[in-house]
Amino acid sequence: MAIKYIPYFPNTLEGQALLDNFTRTKRILRYRDNDRVYERIERGMPLYETELRERVGCNPGENMIIRGECLSACAYLKDRGITVDLVYIDPPFASGADYAKKVYLRRNPVVAKSIQKAKAQLASKEEITSIAAEPSTEYGNNQTGQANELDIEELRSFEEKMYGDIWNKESYLNWMYENLMAIKSVMSDTASIYVHLDWHIGHYVKILMDEIFGEDNFINEIVWGYRIQGIGKEFWARKHDTIYLYRKSSDQYVFNPEKETIIYEKPFIDTIEESPNISKITEKDRQAITNSLEKGIPLNDKYKQLLFKKYYSNVYVRDVWDCDSTKPLISGSKEYLDYKTQKPEGLLERIIKASSNEGMVVADFFGGSGVTAAVANRLGRKFIHTDVNINSIQTARDRLTAAKAEFDVLDVKDGVSLYRNPVQTMEKLKKLIPGLRNEDALDKFWEGSIIDTKYGMTPVYLPNLMDGTTRLLDKPLMNRIIHEALPDLPDNTRRVIVYYIDIDNRNEIEKFIDENNNTLIKIELRDLKQILDEVVSEDYAEWKLTEEQDGLFNGWKVEIIQFQSDRVKRKIDEINQKNGQQAMEGKKRKYAPIQLSENGLETIEWLSLDCSSAEKTAAWHSDSEIKIDKAGYVIKNGTKTSDFWDACIRSDKKPLRLKIRNICGDETIYTL
C-alpha cells in the first residue's frame, strides 16, 4: 500500500480523452479511459517505503541506483525535494518483442582442478578426452579461451526472459503519459529531456510530449542512424531510431553546441584548403596510381587522399547522427555487456555534454545497462539510475563499481521486486495459485479459472506486473470489472476472484462493490503479495572461513564448498525438457542436456564480503567482491584479471556477511 500520493504539479494538467478523436487545431491527444486516467493523474504519484540496500563509497554527491518503477522513483525524488537537470530515457518501444538475457554457467573451480589432475596422471590423449566429455566437465580452462561450440552454446548457456515489450497502443500511451508527467514533475526549470524511441510508437509519444511539455518547448527530432545488417528485401531497411528533445521551460535551458569536421573533395562555403599529400607517395604507390590511370581503373580512397587536395570545415552537428562515435554496439565489442537494448557510450556522451554541465544531475528512469549513469559519472555529473528489472540494477551496479563511482542502491517497496523480474513472476503465477487453469470460454481480461465444489467455475483476475497502472486496485478498475467484465461472463458464473498487489482503500472498494454490483456474482478480493512472498526462497550455500598468513596474503578467506539454487535448477530442467522435446520432434539437430555438478559452483556469478555489519537486514557494504565472467575469469573489485576463480573470496578484515549472486540474478545474504 502506498504511504501517500505526491502531486505531479500544484495544478493538475487536464486534456486526456479519446485516441481516435484527435483535434488537430487544439493539438490534444485524447484517451478512451478518461475518468480512469484523470483520477490517477489527480491523485498523484504513489509514494512507497524505500529501503537502502547498499552504499558504495561515501557518496557525497548522492548518486542513486533505484530499483522500482519510474512513477515510484519520481514520487521518492519529489518527496525528498530532489530535481534533475537532464533526463534521457530509452523506454520500451511497444515493439511486440520479448527480451531475454543470455545466462552462462561459469567455470567450476573444483571440476577444473580435478580435470587438471587427471590430465597430469593420464598419458593417453584419448583417455583425457573421455574424461573431458563426462557430464560434469566444464569449459574455459585454457588461456586461449577456445572451447567446443556445442559445449558453450548448448551445454553451458540458456536464455531467460527479462521483460516483455508487448502492449496494446492505448495501454502503452496511458502508461507513458503518467511516466512523462512524473518525470516532468522532478525536472528543474532549466532541464531538458531526451526520449529515445523508434517507428513503432514514437510519433504517438511525440504528440503526448507536445501536450505535456508544450509545443513551444520542442527542440529537436533527432535521427539516430546505424548501418548494421537487417531485413530490407521487401521495404527500405529500418535502420534508425528517433530521439525527441524537449525543454522544461522556454525561458532558459542548457545547451552546449558541438562541432564536427566535414571533408569535401571540392571547395565549399567556409572550407579551408589542405595541401595535397604528394610528399607521402612512395614509388610503389606512384606506380600503382599510374597503372590505374592508364587502364581507366577508379582510384581507391587511399590513393585519392594521396593525390588530390582536400577541403574541410568545422560545422555544428546536425540532427541526423550516424557517425562512428555514436554507432550501435555489436556483440563482442569492448563496451558490450550482454544487455540486449544497450546503447553506446558515444551516444550518451554527446547528449550529456550538450545538455548538462559538470555537477548537474542526470537521470535515466529506464536505465537498462547503466550507460547513462556510467557516462554521467565519467563526465563529472551526478546520476540517478532507475529500473524495475533486477538484471538492470545488477548490471549498472557492477559497471559503476568498476568505474570507481560512489552511489546508493535503493529498493522501492512498490510490489514489483517481490520476485526476480515482472515477466518471470507473471509466468509463474498460474503455478503458484492452486487450481488455476486456462479457460477458453473467458475473455482475455481473466487470467483463467478455478473449479470450486461450491461455486463451480470461478474466473480469476491477476494484475499485470509489467503494467504499473494495473497493480493498484482502485474504484475505476473495479468499475470496469463490474460494468464491463462481469456482464460478459457465462450465465452460470457465481463468483470471481480479483487479486491485487496494491489497493486504494479496501473498505472503500468493498463498499463500492456493494453499491454498484447489481449482478448475482460474488466478487472476492485477495492480496497477491501473500502468494508471491512464499516464492522468494534463498539459495543454499556451505562455506569455510579461515584466517590466512602465508606471507603473500594476510587476511581472511571464505571458501565456497557447496552452492545450490532450486530456481536455477528448475530453470535448467525447463530448458532441458524443452530442448529434448524439440529434438524428438526433429526441430533441433543437436541436443545435449545442461548438467550441473554436485557442488553447483558453476551457478555462481558474483560474491561479496561485508566486514562492517553482521545484521542481515542492514545496508550492504562491499569490502571485497569478485565477479566471474562467462569465460571463467575473475573481475576483482571491478578490475579484470587473467585469473580463474579458485572457489574462494578474500578480504583484509574479518568478514561478517557473505552475499552470493547466482547466474540468473538472485542474491542471498549469509551471516558468517
Grid coordinates representing 19 are 485516441
| 3-state DSSP of 368-433 | CCCHHHHHHHHCCCEEEEEECCHHHHHHHHHHHHHCCCCEEEEEECCCCCCCCCHHHHHHHHHHHC
Tracing cell 520432434 back to the chain, one arrives at 585
C-alpha to C-alpha distance for 405 and 397, rounded to whole angstroms: 9
**Which among 578, 525, 564, 597 is positioned nearest to 663, based on CA atoms?**
564
The CATH number assigned to the domain with range 422-534 reads 3.40.1350
C-alpha to C-alpha distance for 260 and 264, rounded to whole angstroms: 13
Tracing cell 576463480 back to the chain, one arrives at 645
Coil, helix or strand at residue 43:
helix
Instruction: Quote the pLDDT of residue 134.
Output: 42
CB 203 within 8 A of CB 172: no
C-alpha to C-alpha distance for 606 and 402, rounded to whole angstroms: 13
CATH class of 4-93+164-250+341-412: alpha beta
- If residue 546 lies in a helix (H) or strand (E), which one and from where to where? strand 540-549
CB 315 within 8 A of CB 301: no
* Amino acid at position 579, single letter: N
C-alpha to C-alpha distance for 664 and 672, rounded to whole angstroms: 24
Q: At what angle do helices 70-79 and 169-185 cross, to 10 degrees?
A: 20
Specify the pairing of strand 554-564 against strand 604-610. Answer: unpaired
* Residue 295 CB partners (closer than 8 Å, separation 6+): none
Instruction: Quote the pLDDT of residue 33.
Output: 47
pTM of the model: 0.78
Instruction: Quote the pLDDT of residue 326.
Output: 64
Instruction: Quote the pLDDT of residue 399.
Output: 94
* Residue 73 CB partners (closer than 8 Å, separation 6+): 66, 365, 384, 386, 412
* Residue 551 CB partners (closer than 8 Å, separation 6+): none
- If residue 557 lies in a helix (H) or strand (E), which one and from where to where? strand 554-564
**Which among 650, 102, 526 is positioned nearest to 338, based on CA atoms?**
102
Q: At what angle do helices 169-185 and 34-43 cross, to 10 degrees?
A: 20
C-alpha to C-alpha distance for 392 and 397, rounded to whole angstroms: 8
Q: Which residues pair with 500 in a beta bridge?
A: 527
Question: What does pLDDT average to in each consecutive run of 10 residues of the chain (672 residues)?
Answer: 79 39 36 53 83 94 93 95 96 64 83 66 51 40 37 56 62 84 94 93 90 91 80 78 91 88 64 55 75 76 66 81 69 71 89 96 95 97 93 93 96 68 62 81 86 90 72 82 90 92 86 92 87 70 90 86 89 83 74 85 95 90 93 90 93 95 90 93
Q: Which residues pair with 262 in a beta bridge?
A: 313
C-alpha to C-alpha distance for 204 and 662, rounded to whole angstroms: 40
Tracing cell 573451480 back to the chain, one arrives at 109
DSSP state of 326: G
Residue limits of CATH 3.40.1350 in the chain:
422-534
Fold of 540-671: Immunoglobulin-like (2.60.40)
**Which among 624, 646, 619, 644 is positioned nearest to 634, based on CA atoms?**
644
Residue limits of CATH 3.40.50.150 in the chain:
4-93+164-250+341-412
CB 499 within 8 A of CB 462: yes
Residue limits of CATH 2.60.40 in the chain:
540-671
DSSP state of 605: E
Tracing cell 532450486 back to the chain, one arrives at 566
E strand map for 90-229: 97-104, 157-165, 187-197, 218-225
